[in-house]
Amino acid sequence: MKYLYKSLIALLVASWTPTVLPAQDSDLRLLDWRPKSQMVVKETRILTPKFPVIDIHNHLGDLDKTEHYLKEMDAAGVWQCVSLDGRSADNFYEEHLRVSQSISKERFLVYFRPDFSRIDEPNFGVEEAAKLERAVKMGARGLKISKNLGLTVRDNTGKIVPVDDPRIDPIWAKCGELGIPVEIHVSDPKAFFTPIDKYNERYDELGAHPNWSFYGDEWPSKEEILEQRNRVIARHPNTIFIGAHMGNLPEDLGRIAMWLDMYPNFYVDIDARISELGRQPYSARRFMIRYQDRVLFGTDTPPNAEAYRIYYRFLETDDEYIDPAQGHHLQGRWMIYGLYLPDEVLEKIYNKNALKILGMLKVGQN
């Protein structure tokens, strides 16, 4: 009887033991895992958008490829594309404007990017604002702020320069005076400010780009940087600010809605964040419809017809389980769902909202 009892216990334990997979040739790293979906779902192929597109957020600083960019725009139904690479440093904006305008003055727009390495110079803000005005008279149509402000730019004391540093105020004010928008990128995805561990939802992306991590005491918090930006928006109500990457907080559409309600001069663009929007399709669709006058189209991906088509499919169809990686790059291990936005909303996002903002220009150009 005792032997039978032990045998039963052993049998039960064996039945509870998980099945072990056959041995593999080598261990599979998570970063190497690329599962192929077995889902059978509708796939809508959209070659060109329902309405002409203005890509308000792109980087076309590789001037040798400008003609190639135009061909890709033509193939994808993109009417205009904004380059945010008109750097003040070394007066690169002048060459950028010259090349872009020589190929198509109408199709390419260039934004001026301040040189914050000069932040400690006397009258930095006033002098850079005057340089901005010269750039606008040459054809520049906006100002670009990249994420290094508030995060990595330091003055001669070693202190990180905050977004709301008063030395920059003349530049913000000049944008309002000239009637040009500020495309402002501050901070980065929430996951970039958390440890690169088993809980990080962008583990793959940070594994490929570990220098994109801003976790640790040496960096300001994401919340602190966003608060600095919002103080600037409040301090300069006559200047239009476009929050890049869905206001730099696509993970929390409720807070973006609060900011849009609070700041009439604040807009957002969707560039490089359809991976975030598309995993919350019900909330994103409601948001886009409610704030249809405040959302702009952008990609942050050098013109590529197939990349644009991922965006069109996301915005125009009700397709499910879309792989967004080709629209930018692999950001997270998830798929997205289409928003099938109404035509009147699509047209505003594709071009009307951008045309309204670009039409605020108050200075003549050469």
Q: What are phi and psi of 78, to 5 degrees?
A: -95, 120
Residue 22's pLDDT is what?
A: 58
pTM above 0.75, yes or no: yes
Q: Token pair of 242, please? A: 């476009």
The tokens for 363 are 């200075």
Dist. CA 298–CA 308, nearest whole Å: 9
Instruction: Count CA atoms closer than 13 A to 261's CA, side-chain side.
Output: 8
What pLDDT sits at residue 332? 76
Name 82's bridge partners: 109
For 51-304+342-358, CATH number out of 3.30.479.10, 2.60.410.10, 3.90.1300.10, 3.20.20.140 equals 3.20.20.140
- pLDDT value of position 13: 45
What does the pLDDT read at residue 9? 47
**Nearest in space to 319 (alpha carbons), one of 23, 46, 95, 2:** 46
Helices (H) and strands (E) in the chain, counts: 14, 8
pLDDT score recorded for residue 8: 47
Q: Burial letters for 282-297: b for 16+ Cβ neighbours within 10 Å, e otherwise? A: eebbebbeebbebbbb
Q: Assess contact for 320 and 77: CB atoms under 8 A.
A: no
Binned average pLDDT, 10 residues per bin, the chain of 366 residues: 50 48 65 80 93 98 98 98 98 98 97 98 97 98 98 96 98 98 97 93 88 94 98 98 98 98 98 96 98 98 96 97 84 89 98 98 82
> Token pair of 131, please?
């340089």
CA atoms of 264 and 85, how far apart (whole Å) = 27
Q: Return the pLDDT at 32.
A: 81
Residues 328 and 301: beta-carbon distance below 8 Å: yes
Chain centroid to Cα 53, Å, comes to 17
H, E, C per residue of 11-62: HHHHHHCCCCCCCCCCCCCHHHCCCCCCCCCCCCCCCCCCCCEEEEEECCCC
| Secondary structure, 3-state, 239-287 | CCEEEHHHHCCCCCHHHHHHHHHHCCCEEEECCCCHHHHCCCHHHHHHH
**The pLDDT of residue 2:** 53
Nearest to 308 by CA among 296, 324, 320, 288: 324
Contact 231, 164 (CB under 8 A): yes
The residues facing 259 across adjacent strands are: none
